[in-house]
Amino acid sequence: MPRSFLVKTHSSHRVPNYGKLETLREANGSCSACKELAGSRHLPEEEAPCNPSDPLQPWDSTSAVACISLPLLPNHRETLGVSGPEPQETSWVGPRAAQAPSVTLKDSFTLPPLLVLPTRWPPILGPDGALNEHLRAEGTSQVPGSFECIHCHRPYPTLAGLARHQQLHCHLPTGRAFTCRFCGKEYASLGALKMHIRTHTLPCICKVCGKAFSRPWLLQGHIRTHTGEKPYTCSHCSRAFADRSNLRAHLQTHVGTKKYRCAVCPKAFSRMSLLARHEEAGCCPGP
DNA sequence: CTGGGGAAGGGGCCC
DNA sequence: TGGGCCCCTTCCCCA
C-alpha cells in the first residue's frame, strides 16, 4: 500500500508555487528547528481567518469530535458481535452528522475482545476478507498481547500506538475530518493536517539559495547539495550518495533484479518509474 | 528508448 | 503533540 493512501486528492504537480507562498512566509514568525539549519522561518499554520463557508476545519470545535470518529463497517459490527440498530451514542456527532454512522475512537478501545490478539498473527482476515499480504511479505510475526487494528489488523504493542494508527483509517468516505484550506485535501487527524500545511507554507528556507522546504530535514538534505556531503556509501562499489533512498535505488543496480514487469511485453525494469515511462512511450498501444 | 543518478515531496512511525 | 527519521515515490536530467 502506498504511503500516500491517507490523501484523497492529488495535485497534478509536485512542486508548490513558492512565489505564491512567499507572502505567507514573510508574514509569519520563526521556527527554531529550521533556524538551527539555515536561519529559516516557521509560521503558525492556522492563523489565517476562517471563512464560515470553508470546509470543516481543525479549529472547529465540533470537528474535533468528528475527527476521532471511526466508521463502523458492517463487517466490523459483525466482528464485534454488534447486532440490531446502531446505538445512538455511536452516531456521527460533528457537523457531518448526517453523513455516516460511526463509532468513536474512544469507544473502539472499549472492546477488548477485538483489540487483544488472542491468536496467531498473521494470518488474519481483513475487513474485505483478504489477508494482510503486505505485512506477511514483510515478515511481520506474531505480537503476543498486542492491540490489533480493527481495519487492517495490524498489531500494535501499545494502546496509544493503536489509537494513533486507527485515526488513519478515517480516510474512508464516511470518516473525513480535517480539510486543508489551501488545497482541499482531507486528513484524518489534526497532526496530519498540520504536517501537510507545512507543504504550503514552506517554513524552512535555505539561506544559501533561498529555496523553501516544508520540513527541516528536507532542508538538511538540500543543504547537502551545496556542501557536497554524501554520507551514504554503497558497500559494493563505494559510491557515495547524499540521500539514503538514492543509495537504495543504486543498490538495485547491483542486485540486478527487475521486479517491475510490463503487463504486455516481456520487458522488466528495476524501477517503477522506468516501467511507467516504458508504457507511456507506447509499448502497449491501446485499441 | 533505456538505465541510472540527483533532488525533492510527503505520509507514517517512533520517541 | 511535535520533531526527527524512515521509506516510498516521482520528476528531471544525462549518458
Q: Which pLDDT tens digit goes with each residue over A141-154?
A: 333 345 666 655 65
- β-pair type (A186-187, A178-179): antiparallel
Confidence of residue A48 (pLDDT cuts 50, 70, 90): very low
- For the domain with range A147-201, which CATH number is right: 3.10.20, 3.40.50, 3.30.160, 3.30.460? 3.30.160
What single-letter DSSP state applies at residue A266? S
Is pLDDT larger for residue A180 or for residue A22?
Answer: A180
Q: How far does the CA of A77 sit from the C1' of B2, in Å?
A: 51
Confidence of residue A118 (pLDDT cuts 50, 70, 90): very low
Collapsing DSSP states into helix, strand and coil, what is residue A261?
strand
Residue A246, C-alpha cell as written in the block: 538514492
A75 vs A209: CA distance, rounded Å? 54
**pLDDT digits over A60-113, tens only?**
333 333 333 333 333 333 333 333 333 332 222 232 222 332 332 332 322 233
Average pLDDT of the residues of chain A: 54
Q: Hey, CA dihedral for A34, A186, A58, A191, is it positive or negative?
A: negative
The answer, yes or no, to whether residue A232 has pLDDT greater than 80, is yes
> What mean pLDDT do residues A187-205 have?
80
* Nucleic strand C near CB of residue A273 (< 7 Å): yes
Is pLDDT larger for residue A247 or for residue A163?
Answer: A247
φ/ψ of A172, rounded to 5, equals: -60, 155
The closest nt to A5, taking CA to C1', is: B11
Confidence of residue A224 (pLDDT cuts 50, 70, 90): confident
Strand B contact nucleotides, protein CB < 7 Å: 1-14
Residue A169, C-alpha cell as written in the block: 483509517
* Nucleic strand C near CB of residue A164 (< 7 Å): yes
Within a 10 A sphere around the Cβ of A148, how many other Cβ atoms? 19
The closest nt to A167, taking CA to C1', is: B12
**pLDDT digits over A269-282, tens only?**
877 788 877 877 77
φ/ψ of A71, rounded to 5, equals: -65, 135
Percentage of chain A beyond pLDDT 90 is: 0
- Protein residue closest via CA to C1' of C10: A273
- Protein residue closest via CA to C1' of C11: A14
The answer, yes or no, to whether residue A233 has pLDDT greater than 60, is yes
* Nucleic strand C near CB of residue A259 (< 7 Å): no
The residue assigned the cell 483509517 is A169
**pLDDT digits over A18-39, tens only?**
333 333 343 333 444 444 444 4
pLDDT at residue A154, as a whole number: 59
- β-pair type (A155-156, A178-179): unpaired
- Protein residue closest via CA to C1' of B2: A274
Q: How far does the CA of A87 sit from the C1' of C7, in Å?
A: 41
pTM flag (> 0.75): no
